[in-house]
Each structure stands twice: as structure tokens, then as C-alpha cells.
Amino acid sequence: MVRRAALASKIRGLDPQDIGDTTSSAVGAQIFETLYTYSYLERPYQLIPLLAEEMPVISEDGRKYTIRIKEGVFFADEPSFPGGRGRELTAEDFIFAWKRMADLNNRSTNYPAIFQGYVVGLDEFREYTATTPDVDYDRPVEGLRAPDPSTIEITLNKPHNFLLYWLAHLPTAPVAREVVESYGKDVVNHPVGTGPFRLVGNYRSNQFSMVRNENFREVRYPARASPELRERGLLKDAGRRIPFIHRIEWSIIEEAQPLWLAFMAGELDSSGIPKDNFPQVINRDKELTPEMKAKEIDLIKAEDPSIFYYGFNMDDPVVGKNRPLRQAMSLAFDRETYIETFLNGRGHVPIGPIPPMITGHRPDKRNPYTGYDPAEARRLLKEAEEIQGGAIPELKLAMPGTDTTVRQMGEFFRLQMRGIGLKVEVDYMTWPRFQDATKTRSHQLFALGWLADYPDAQNFLLLFYGPNRSPGPNACNYDNPQFNALYEDAVAIPELAGRIPLYHKMEDIVIEDCPWLLTVYRVGYALYYEWLRNYYPNDFANGTIKYQRVETDLRESILRKREEKR
Amino acid sequence: MKAYFIRRLFYLVPIIVGISLITFLLFRVVGGDPVDRVAGRYATSAQKAELRHQFGFDKPLWPPVGKLLKGDLKGFADNQLFRHFADTFTFRFGRSEQYKRKISDMIKDGVLPSLSLTVPAFIIGIFLQITIAVFCAFKQGSRFDRVVVVLSVIGMSLPYLALIIFGQAYLAGKLKWFPIYGYPEGIGLGVIPFVALPVLLGVVAGLGAGVRFYRTVILDETRADYVRTARAKGVGETGVMFGHVLKNAMIPIITQVVVVIPFLFLGSLLLERFFSIPGLGYMLIDAVNSSDWPVINALTFVGALIYLGALLLTDLCYALVDPRVTLK
């Protein structure tokens, strides 16, 4: 049983501690596993144990986590192990992996978000790694202990209420020390994990394969699903042993046309919809056209946990000090036309910075500044001119890219603002130049987006927290003492339910202050052939191909019939 | 010729140093901060400063002359420019920041797929261009010549991207004569089906401009005095064309052909992307877009060396094909 999947860009590397891009994550997640993951078919997303035996025991002061790991979990076979046979996973493998992430020589981008400032002694270990390229991984870290091979104890300097989310994040996956030491820096080319699949061949080429990890433990298809996913028939395989797939054949296809041709030829089991092919696939009701249905193709629409916006630099003397101006610009932007023009309608007009699929999103909340109301915008602009003490000078928008679509988006923004009498000059920048200007707070207006790392609204609200100002992730340099106090209160609350009312208060402040001109909540459209079973997007769970099944006979029959028709 | 060759090699030294200096200026002085890519999206300024120190990006960009005046040679030598020169001139290109791979491995893996695409397209293309051009010149003003000239102008006007999109969609997608995309691991006969269509498209794309250029070059020669003399002496048209005209047309042909050779190593961006061929075509642009400084440096330096080598080869070829050219 073969699963044929495509990737839209090259894989940067499969060292789990350094994985940071979506393509490497998609591939690496089939090989490596984490302590926790997200339930495949339940929404809202729920954390469940993966390599952990159960959810952790957390001390009352929130500073000590005791985590039991599953027994009988083995690494895939690899020549670095004695006799080439993968050995059993131990608690020390996690500690080794986390020290690797802290090791400055490994240049991992993930350490600041996950562990910095939290684990007792780990920052000191990181400082030590700056002094030598030959890091001693036996050097103890007080906050990371393995009292026995199946138990991890993490001691924190202060409570870290988002640690569990990060322990479901691929960079915290365990690696075997003997494999790392055997390959040295080239371990990035030799990924060996405990996951359902193992790599065969060279993933640096544009086509490569994975086969089942023969050492993968007994795991069953989930028996729980949200009602709408149950209705899609996604529980038919409940209780059956996984993975079903024997082999995954990956193809890196960076251009939309070959991707689409390959999917239509049945060489791929699933695909997105290229912008240019959208009208031939989706009708005006945003459903599949009859021609596509006749080809035994199905459609899934799922909201992305992401947000896109034009940011106002709050340090800027014109836009940063003039709330009515920001509100006026937000009301002058026709989001429905934008979504139809640039995304073929694949998106919703946004409400606030907390998008759908994230706990804390309020679908019924009304944002008075995301509708299209040029008359109100002009009224607010007059107020803004009074604050400015005259006409608003020409504004400057920075766009992150120089390609045609980015230019069209920049032009669209310029014309929308001209509609209320504002002049905007657009500067199209390469990504490094754009990043540099963001870091030095040189933009006045800029276009950006954010894709969630975990399904908690805090992952979006941190983008407005004052101490995170540029070069931190708060690119608009918003710094509101009231918001900051609420943020600090919220992140100190251990339970999500307790944080949500504060999240809503913070979101209300941001909506009114308008440091972002929100553009879209994107909706992902995915196509798949009927021979692919149990396929459903999950933006946070790792390694979901293990749940999927390919009906090989059905595939052959569909393709044969199609060939006969030609 | 030997003395000329050695002198030219010496001339290359300042050029290579200049190229390396320009690369350094472009990407380390006026380009983005390389730490941004490495630091991750949650990093604070303190964390970035820590990384900058670790990578040596907090060292002076230029040699501190003050230290030299104080006799501190070690301090004078400890700067980013000298480290850049030392690494580049000894071919220690290091690892790609974004792929964490040795750059030498990346080049090694990418160069053969690129060459498997560009070399056949180049050889077949040049052969067809010159052959058709010779026939056109031979039959100047004939129906064949007029049709070829019209088709060449049409070929030159056709956007390369449109040709690739049409060729892939029709010949591979619709008629299924070729695979839509892909490239097998390793180099062998197995690559032929996968490079056949990209090579065909590469040849077709270059045909119009090539035929026009070589036809003009050959026709220019046919109007020369020595051709009239040869004809007056009773040499047949075939003898005139192959014995005199083509021989003398070799100088512009060599110039055109040899200058293209360095670009064969750098692959074809569009063909490689559309047909998922893991070559070097996209490597440089990808590196520039990601501020992957070590890759930019390596490819610029290696590309410049090949280009300079090709220019030297061109001069040597001139002397070989034209007895009027002497290299002193």
C-alpha cells in the first residue's frame, strides 16, 4: 500500500531539534515522535499522550513536571546501534535531545521559544556550549533528570503554562545519542526516530521514499472524533492497528502546474488547488464541480490557524499616534474583494487576532473596523487629520517580496487607501531586507502573517505584548500597559479555561486600538481521491499519515477506467 | 603561448580578490543580518546578540588599522574580511545556514543533474542552430531560408516560460509522451526519460535566436573578398562554405559558445523547477532570498572561477582556429 504525497518546497533538514519550516516538519513528523500530540479527529484540538504514558504530574507550584514514558518503544534499525538493531527509548534520550537544542553549536532556532529562561540550569548549559565546540553532554543540568529509564523530571525556574504544547512540538522529539555521535554534523542527513516510518534513500533529492518502521509499537486507530468528522466516516477504522500504509513516496514539486498535472493524472493521492485552476475545480457555491466529482475526487475545507494583516508600526509618529487614522484605514479596506481577488474566496473576513480553530476565537464577536465602510472611514480620517494638525502625509507600505502577486497586493492596498484620499507609496523588498527593516522598526506600514505553533490564543496575543517588541515577534511594536498587565495575568493561569476571559479582554483592546489592519482568516481547500481513506487535515498533530489508508484496488480501477475512456 | 597563459593566470588573482571583496560588501555590509535567519521568530535582541558573538559576526568587518600600528598583528588579522578571504580562497565554504549541509556536497549533488539537462540541450542546440544556419546561408533567399527566418523570429518572440508551460501541459500532461516531473537518484541511463522533455524545450527555446545569429555571422563571411576570390578560382559552393566561410566564422561562434559554458554548471532555473530536477538552478536564488550567506559566497566564487576559466579558454581557442591571432 503506497501513499503518494507532494511537498511544495525543499526539505531544509531532518534534525528534529532544528526543524522550523513546515515542509521539514511534515516529513520529519513521520519519523520522529514527541511526548504529546493532538487528537487526530477531535476539535477543538486536544493534547493527548504519544510517547508519554499519560499526561504529566505537575507539582502544585507548577515548577516540577514528572513524565512517565511508554515502555516498549524502539528506535528504527540503523547501523549506529549495536548489531544495527534499534534500541529501546529511554528518558535520557529526551534529555540529550533538549541539551542538543540548547547547544549553540547546533544553531537551533527553537530554544528561545521552548526552554529559554525556564528550565533550571539549561541556560547555563547553553552558555557553556558557547565556550567549546566539543560539548560534554554528560554535564548535568539540574532541571532535567531521569531518575529511572522511564521517567523524566523537569524542574522549572518559574511556571511555564505552555510547556505541554511545546512538548508536542517536533523539536522536542527524542534522538538516540549513538546515532548523533556516529554521524556528527551529518546527522541532519540521517534521521532516526521512533515513529511509524523510516527513511530510505536520500531525502535531498526531489523524490524519496519512506517505509514502515518494523520496530514501531502496537498503536490503534483512534476511536474518538468530533461529530462532524464522525459524520464524514472517519471512524470506520477505529481500533485497527496502524500504520496501514507500507510505503510513502514523496515528491518535491515546487511549481503549481506540474503538481496539478500529476494530481490529475492520479500520480498523487492528494493536492491543494493552484490559484489558476480554481475555477475549473470549484463552482460559485464553493463546492466541487461535477467534472471533478466524476473523477472520484473529494474536497475538504478547513480553516487555517493563521492570521494575515497589514501592521502599523506603533513607534511611527504618524500612524502610531493616531488611532482614528488606523481605524479609518481598516474601514477603507475591502476585505471581501481582497479575498475573492487573491484567494479565490478561500477565506473569511477576520474578527480579531484570534483566528478560528484556536480556543478563545469568538465567531459571534463583531469588529467595528473590519467591515468595508468608506463613508465612516472618511469621517474618521477627518478626526485623524485634526490629531495630525493637517493632511496626513504620504504613507509608506513595505511588502515582503517582489513577485507579481505581492506587487498586486501592494497595488490593491494603495488603491483602497486612495479611495478615502490617502496616498501610499509601496516598497517591495526581498525577505532579508524586509526582516532587517522590521527588526530596526523602520517600517511605517508592513504586510505580514502568523501561523500558530500551538492552538492557544496566547500564541497570537504574544504578538502584542510590549516586551516582545522588535526584534522580538511583536513586529508592530504595540506596547499598551493595560494589555501587558492582562497578558502577564493570563499566562500565569495554569488552566486554559481560566485564561480565556482575559484573552477576550486583550482581544477587545487590540480591536479598538487597531495596531493591525486585519486582512483574512484563510480557509485551506484540499483535494483527495476517494481511494485515500481517513484523510483529514490536522494543523498540529505530528505524523498523521499513519492514520491514512490507500485502497489500492480502487485506485487501479479508477485509473484503468480513465485510461479506457481516453 | 605559454608565457601568455601564465601571465593571464596572474591577471586572474586581482580579479578573483575583487570578486570576493564585492561579494563580501554586498551581503555582509549592505545585505541583511545573517543572524536573523538563525535566531528564529521568537528571539529577543539579547538572544540575537549572543548568536552574533558565537558566529563571530560581532568582530570588526574590516582590518583594524589601529591595531596594526600598535604592532598587534593578531588583533589586526582578527576581522570578518580576512576570515572571509581565508575561507574562500581555500575553498572552505562551510555549511549552508538553511539546509545545514556541506556546501561542497550540495554542489556535488546538484551539478550532475544540472549538467544532465544543460549539456545535451547545449550540444543538440548548438548543432541544430549551426546546421540550420549553414543551410540557410547556403540557400540564402530560398523558400527554406525565408521560412526558417520567419520561424526564428516567432521562436525568439515566444516567452520561455510560456513554452515550458505549454510543453509540459500538452506533451506530458495531455499526450503522456514524457513523465510530468521527476528525476531518479544517481546518474545513469534512467535519467533519459526524465530529461528528454526539458532538453527538448531547452533546445526549442534557443533555436530561433541561435539560428538567426549564426546565419548572420555566416552570411557576413560569404560577402567577404576572399570568398569571391575562391569562387573566381573555381572552388565549388560546398568547398567555399565548408573550406573557407565556416572556418572564418569560427571566431564569433567560439565567442558565443564558450561564454555559455559556465552557465551550464549553474543549471536552468525554470526547467529544474518545473520538472523537479534537483540541480543547481534554484540554489543561488534560494540562497539570496534566505540570506544564506555561505552558499551565496560559494556559488559566486565558483561561478566566477569557471567564467574566468572560460574566457581564458576562448582566447586560447581563437589562436587555435585563426592563424592571424597570436598570443604573446
User: A497, A514, A507, A487: which is closest to A327 by C-alpha?
Assistant: A514
Q: Which residue has the cell 518535491?
A: A252
CB A537 within 8 A of CB A522: no
Q: Does A261 touch chain B (CB under 8 A)?
A: yes
Q: How confident is the model at residue B31 (pLDDT cuts 50, 70, 90)?
A: low
Beta-bridged to residue A532, according to DSSP, are A550
Q: Which residue did the predictor score with more confidence, B282 or A240?
A: A240
Q: How confident is the model at residue B307 (pLDDT cuts 50, 70, 90)?
A: confident
What grid cell was written down for B324? Answer: 592571424
| Cβ within 8 Å of B, A 208-237 | 208
CA distance linking residue A184 with residue B72, whole number of Å? 36
Q: Does B160 touch chain A (CB under 8 A)?
A: no
pLDDT at residue B39 in the model: 65
CB-CB: which of B95, B173, B289 is closest to A430? Answer: B289
What b-and-e string marks burial along A202-233, b requiring 16 or more CB atoms within 10 Å of the CB? Answer: ebbbbbbebebbebbeeeebbeebeeebeebe
CB B297 within 8 A of CB B23: yes
CA distance linking residue A517 with residue A462, whole number of Å? 17
Residues of chain B positioned with their CB less than 8 A from the CB of A15: 100
Alpha carbon separation from B278 to A254, B133, B260, B298 (Å, rounded): 11, 34, 21, 18
Residues of chain A positioned with their CB less than 8 A from the CB of B38: 107, 109
Task: Based on DSSP, count helices (H) and strands (E) in chain B, helices before strands.
Answer: 17, 0
| Cβ within 8 Å of A, B 171-230 | 172-173, 176, 180-185
Q: Does A18 touch chain B (CB under 8 A)?
A: yes
pLDDT beneath 50: ranges in chain A:
none
CA angle B267, B272, B273 (to 5 degrees): 135
What is the least distance, in Å, from the CA of A18 to any CA of chain B? 9
Alpha carbon separation from B75 to B56, B70, B220 (Å, rounded): 14, 10, 62
- Taking CA–CA distances from B38, the nearest residue in chain A reads A109
CB A430 within 8 A of CB A334: no
- Average pLDDT across chain B, whole number: 85
The pLDDT of residue B30 is above 90: no
pLDDT at residue B44 in the model: 67
Q: Do B33 and A109 touch (CB under 8 A)?
A: no
What is the least distance, in Å, from the CA of A205 to any CA of chain B? 6
CB-CB: which of B50, B98, B168 is closest to A12? Answer: B98
| Residues 6 or more apart in contact with residue A152 via CB below 8 angstroms | A65, A66, A67, A69, A91, A94, A95, A144, A145, A146
Residues of chain A positioned with their CB less than 8 A from the CB of B181: 251, 253, 258, 261-262
CB-CB: which of B43, B109, B276 is closest to A112? Answer: B43
Q: How many CA within 13 A on the CB side of residue B271?
A: 29
pLDDT at residue B48 in the model: 74
Chain A interface test: which of B100, B161, B280 (most A C-beta within 10 Å) = B100
Q: How many CB pairs under 8 A join A and B?
A: 134
Q: How confident is the model at residue B37 (pLDDT cuts 50, 70, 90)?
A: low
pTM of the model: 0.86
Alpha carbon separation from A170 to A20, A25, A27, B98, B220 (Å, rounded): 9, 7, 11, 18, 67
What is the least distance, in Å, from the CA of B245 to any CA of chain A? 45
CB A248 within 8 A of CB A5: yes
pLDDT in tens, B105-141: 999 888 999 999 999 999 999 999 999 999 998 888 8
CB-CB: which of B31, B54, B173 is closest to A261? Answer: B173
- Taking CA–CA distances from A201, the nearest residue in chain B reads B185
Residues of chain A positioned with their CB less than 8 A from the CB of B275: 258
CB-CB: which of A15, A252, A433 is closest to B32? Answer: A433
pLDDT in tens, B149-201: 999 999 999 899 999 999 999 999 999 999 999 998 777 888 999 999 999 99
Burial of A381 (0-12, 13-18, 19+ CB in 10 A): buried
Chain B interface test: which of A109, A188, A199 (most B C-beta within 10 Å) = A109
Q: Does A119 touch chain B (CB under 8 A)?
A: no
Q: Which residue did the predictor score with more confidence, A255 or B324?
A: A255
Asked whether this complex has an ipTM greater than 0.95, the answer is no
pLDDT at residue B77 in the model: 83
pLDDT at residue A482 in the model: 97
Q: Do A261 and B31 touch (CB under 8 A)?
A: no
Residues of chain B positioned with their CB less than 8 A from the CB of A186: 102
| Cβ within 8 Å of B, A 52-71 | none
Q: Do B98 and A257 touch (CB under 8 A)?
A: no
Q: Which residue did the predictor score with more confidence, B307 or A69?
A: A69
| Cβ within 8 Å of B, A 126-145 | 130
User: A250, A290, A285: which is closest to A270 by C-alpha?
Assistant: A250
Beta-bridged to residue A311, according to DSSP, are A446, A516
pLDDT at residue A84 in the model: 94
Residues of chain B positioned with their CB less than 8 A from the CB of A204: 101, 109, 278
Q: Does A400 touch chain B (CB under 8 A)?
A: no
- Average pLDDT across chain A, whole number: 94
Q: Does A496 touch chain B (CB under 8 A)?
A: no
What is the least distance, in Å, from the CA of A260 to any CA of chain B? 10
Q: Does A258 touch chain B (CB under 8 A)?
A: yes
What grid cell was written down for A533? Answer: 481513506
Q: Do B173 and A472 touch (CB under 8 A)?
A: no
Strand blocks (E) in A488-553: 516-529, 532-533, 549-550
Q: Does A104 touch chain B (CB under 8 A)?
A: yes
pLDDT at residue A419 in the model: 96
What is the least distance, in Å, from the CA of A390 to any CA of chain B? 36
Alpha carbon separation from A179 to A79, A93, A97, A191, A443 (Å, rounded): 8, 11, 12, 9, 45
pLDDT in tens, A490-533: 999 999 999 999 999 999 999 999 999 999 999 999 999 999 99
The pLDDT of residue B41 is above 60: no
